[in-house]
Structure formats: structure tokens, C-alpha cells
Structure 1
Amino acid sequence: MAPIADLIGPPDGSGEPPPLPASRWPDPAFDARLFARAGGRLCGVDEVGRGPWAGPVVTAAVVLDRDHIPDGLADSKLVSPAERERLFAEIIATADVAIGMASVERIDRTDIRKATLWAMARAVAGLAERPTLAVFDGRDVPPGLSCAGEALIDGDMLSQSIAAASIVAKVARDRLMSALSESFPDYGFERHKGYGTAAHQAALARFGITPHHRRSFAPIRKLL
């Protein structure tokens, strides 16, 4: 297989990769080239939740049905909550989807990078059928894959498959954190999703940490 960089285009001579497309929506032609290159099932993989102080990292692997690609696929950060929910429902209904999750305990026992890569590999392994090629948003390919894998920086801006995975992972994690808030209503998990907002810091100062906080993260470690 030729490197994915060949599908994007060469650097401009400055040593930097080419600029991202002006549109927030990935170009369908890019995934078409990936599909042709894979010669089979193309899987997009992304994660949500590396930065929060609480909750798991959630990853998703998505093999889109090329005849039923939802309109408006984009990086989950650029899509409204209502639009994410719509896209999530369409992706689940038409694609082969699997989710991987790295617990707070795993994050604290290893580190956030290793835990994320482990969860990504779990998501790929959970698909109904093994993909031919898995493309990952970011710089890393997890070890132990049963298929070829390549990393794609800013992949959720370039690939519809990775954008779909980012939406699935985001909605799944947001729902999990909202459910968690029912057991810990004082922390506002349903609003900040575990990120280090001022409201979250204030709740920690008043109520202390929960079993769902990442003790290996510096702001939480200081409270111990």
C-alpha cells in the first residue's frame, strides 16, 4: 500500500503537510481513494476523552456503508449536539460500528496514551467483520491489530470514516457522563463531561474526588 500522504498530496516545500481543506466537511473523494487503496473494508477510528479529569476514554471504529453515507459528516467538535445525535442514529443504523472504552483504572495504571491505543484496538476488534485497513485520527497506530493500520493527522477533517467515528465516540461518551451525573449530581458531569472547567474545580474543592476521577492527572493528584 502506498502511504496515506500520497493521497493528500506532497508538502509545499516548507517541510509542513498540506493545509486542511477549507470546508469543515471531509471530501468524499478522499475516502473513495482510501477504499480503493484498502481493496476491501475501510475502518475509521477516533477517540474522545483524552483531556478530561474524570471518566473513561471512549473510542469508536466505523466501517461506513458506501451506499448509505449520512449527509453532513464532520469532526464531532464542529457539529451541534442536535446534529451529532442525528448523525449518530444514522451511522448506527447503516454502518458496522464498535466502541472501545478505557476505564479510569486503566488510565491511571498505564497512561492516557497507552490506554487510548488499547481502547482503539478493542474497538477495531469488536467490529462484526474484520476490516482490510483501519485509519486512525492522530499520530499513532495501536499495536496488535488484525488488519493494516495507518495514522492520519487531522483525520477527522479529511476522512468521512474517521469523522463518523468521532461522532459515535463523542455521543457515546457524552451519554455516559450524563448518566454518571445521576449518581454524582453535585459535580455537573452532564455539563462539562469531566473536563477541567471552573465549575468542576469548584465542585472538587467542595466535595472532593470521586472514584471516576483520574488520580494520575496532576490536578486530581494534588487533591490527594
Structure 2
Amino acid sequence: MTLELFPALPLSPLHFEEWALSRGFRTVAGVDEAGRGPLAGPVVAAAVVLPEGFELPGLDDSKKLSVDQRERLLPLIRSKALAFGVGIVSAGEIDRMNILQATLKGMALAVRRLRTAPDYLLVDGITPVPLPLQQKTIKQGDSRSLSVAAASVLAKVVRDRLMTGYDQIYPGYDLARNKGYASAGHLAAIARLGPSPLHRLTFRGVREHVVKNEGGL
């Protein structure tokens, strides 16, 4: 599938979904992730299948929404969606396989966990999900497709809640606030305390402190 089959800007927030359905596909899932960039925590992916004609005012790329807006939208997405799934890949797996491959694994897991199997995927970004399914990658898909936007909100809220919980298990890094991203306070905490089991040891900002804080092991 090539970009030339689609207009540069979709005619409606459901244009990509409607295009796929008009060509005989029955179940279209939007796929997105949260947490590619942080220094700590898992990467979380989500897949969402929306009903035809779906409308949800305010739904957009999760990065453009406030915490309160995402929390308000999530139960509405879950109640209205035909199916949704989440895939979580740990920091250890990210270190072993790299963040791109971990992200794709999380996306594949999310799709497999849909209670209704899709036959077409709309994927945020430029890399297809490693599944034997017809699919379309969409740059800035979370701003251009409602099902991808729904997946972005689901992935983001799930990950944020996980990081808030991890803050109780690994205190001192302020994970409830920074969600694992490289804030000045988080970087200072890593330098002071060393990496926790939740940290991505291959990421810059963490790897510099692995040897120093593990006694050279």
C-alpha cells in the first residue's frame, strides 16, 4: 500500500478507516504506542477497533491532550470500541532487542489481544507491524486517524498509570511525575542512586552510570 492512494490530508478523521472498509476489509484496527523515548519503564502499545461512524469530540493525538482530557476520554473509548488490546514490553526486553523492535513486538501483542481479529491495520509511524496482515503506516497517524488516536490515548494512559505505580516500588526517581523521561531531576537521581531494575541500561543518560554503580561488573 502506498501513500499515493490517499490524499495528503484525510477528508475526515475516519477517512483511512472508511477507505479500508470501502475496499472490502471488515475490521480495521488503529495501532500506536507510548514510551519509546523514556529512560525507564516499558513501552506500551495499543490497538483499537472503532465502529463505523464513530464520533468522540476532543479525541486527538494523546500528546496534544492533558492528563485530565486523556483520563476522561479513556472510558469512553473503551465503552464505544468494538475491541481494544494492549501490549507491554519491559525495559529488559528493550535493552535486549532495541527500542524499535520492542515497539513492534508491543504492537503485535496488542493486535493479537483484540477480541475481534482485524484484517487491516492503520499503524502510526513508518514501520509496519510484523504480522501477516494488510496494513497502512501513517506518519502522524495519531493526528490523522481516529482509531490510531484512540490507540494513542489508551497506550499513554496505561503507561502513565504503570509508571505512577512503579514510583512506589522504586522511590527516589520521581517516576510518578516524569514518567521515566529524561528530566533534570530524573537524570540527577540516576547519577546519585544508580539505575533501578526499571531503567533501560542501553539508553544514554543511564548507561553512563551502569558500571560505576555496579562496582565495575
Give the TM-score taking structure 2 as reference length. 0.90
Taking only aligned residues, the RMSD between alpha carbons, in angstroms, comes to 1.7
Residue 57 of structure 1 corresponds to which residue in structure 2? 43
Deviations 1:173-206 (A, max 9, x none): 0000001001122111011100001010111122
For residues 140-199 of structure 1, the C-alpha deviation after alignment (integer angstroms, 9 at most, x for no partner) is 0122x2421221111111100100000000000000000100112211101110000101
Asked if 2 retains the 8 angstrom alpha-carbon contact of 1:60 and 1:166, the reply is yes
**CA displacement, residues 63-99 of structure 1 (integer Å, 9 cap, x when unaligned):** 0122553222100011111111111111111211100
Q: Is the 8 A contact 1:57 1:102 kept in 2?
A: yes
Shift of 1:32: 2.5
Give runs of aligned pairs for residues 87-166 of structure 1, distance below 5 A.
87-95=73-81, 96-143=83-130, 145-166=131-152
Other structure's SS at 2:58 match: coil
Alpha-carbon distance in structure 2 between the residues aligned to 1:37 and 1:188: 49
| SS of equivalent to 2:152 | helix
Quote the offset at 1:27 in angstroms.
Answer: 2.4
CA shift for structure 1 position 139: 0.5
Name the count of aligned residue pairs.
208
Question: What letter is aligned with 2:163?
Answer: M
- Helix, strand or coil at the partner of 2:30: strand
What's the CA shift for 1:216? 1.0
Gaps in structure 1 of 5+ consecutive residues: 9-17
Alignment of 1:209 onto 2:208: no
**Contact 1:133 1:147 survives alignment (8 Å):** yes
Paired position in structure 2 for 1:39:
25
Segments of 5+ residues of structure 2 without an aligned counterpart are: 211-217
Partners of 2:75 and 2:132 lie apart in 1 by: 28
| Counterpart residue type for residue 159 of structure 1 | S
Distance in 2, Cα, partners of 1:113 & 1:156: 18
CA 1:38/1:141 → structure 2, altered by over 3 Å: closer, same or farther? farther
Conserved 8 A contact 1:130-1:147:
no
SS at match of 2:205: helix
- Structure 1 runs (4+) greater than 3 angstroms displaced: 2-5, 28-31
Deviation at 1:38, TM superposition (A): 5.2
**What percent of counterpart residues are identical?**
42
Residues 141, 149 of structure 2: 8 Å contact kept: yes
